[in-house]
Amino acid sequence: MSTLRQALYGFALLGALMLLIWGQQQRINAAENKTKLAAKEATDARKDADRNLETVNTLTATLKQERDTQSTLRIQQDQLRQGLAKRERTIEDLKRENSELRDWAAQPLPDAARRVRERPALVGAAAYRDWLSGRGAVPTTSDKPAQ
């Protein structure tokens, strides 16, 4: 019976060894799956980072372009202000030099011109549209007023 017992011990040992190998294989498979998943996540993260970098670069370029445009507009605004101040000085100089021009400039505006310059406080597009279509509208050139 000793041979039978040895054979049983051998089979038991062989079964335990097979079970150990199978367990290790399962752990290896699980580790490989985790590695593949981590590699996929790393690839996705790299793609997201690249897209974010492209977005940042685009936004940076747009911001630089807008700042340059704003700078150009400020320069133009300053030039326009200087031109306006120069024209106002010229008009004042002409008024001082020419009494006929001074008298003309002192006259009140005609009613039609005054109505064009007068505008109530408007809030929103609807109010502006109502004001334009209301009684304060300026007649078109085809409507000839009676003289």
CA–CA distance, 130 with 137 (Å, rounded to integer)? 10
As for how many domains the chain has, the answer is 1
- Does residue 146 belong to any structural domain of this protein? no
Residue 113 lies in a domain: yes
Indicate the average pLDDT of the chain. 87
Q: How far apart are CA 122 and CA 131, in angstroms?
A: 8
- What domain range includes position 96? 50-117
- Whether the Cβ atoms of residue 113 and residue 107 lie closer than 8 Å to each other: no
The verdict on residue 133 lying in a domain is no
Please indicate, yes or no, whether the overall pTM of this predicted structure exceeds 0.85: no
19 inside domain: no
Residues 126, 145: Cα–Cα separation, whole Å: 29
- Domain-located, residue 62: yes
Q: Does 28 fall in a domain?
A: no
Output the pLDDT for position 111. Answer: 82
Following DSSP, what letter does each residue of 73-120 receive, concatenated?
Answer: HHHHHHHHHHHHHHHHHHHHHHHHH-HHHHHHHHSPPPHHHHHHH---
Is 70 exceeded by the pLDDT of residue 10? yes
Note whether residue 66 is domain-resident.
yes
Confidence of residue 27 (pLDDT cuts 50, 70, 90): very high
Q: Is the pLDDT of residue 136 over 60?
A: no
CA-to-CA distance for 68 and 75, rounded, in angstroms? 11
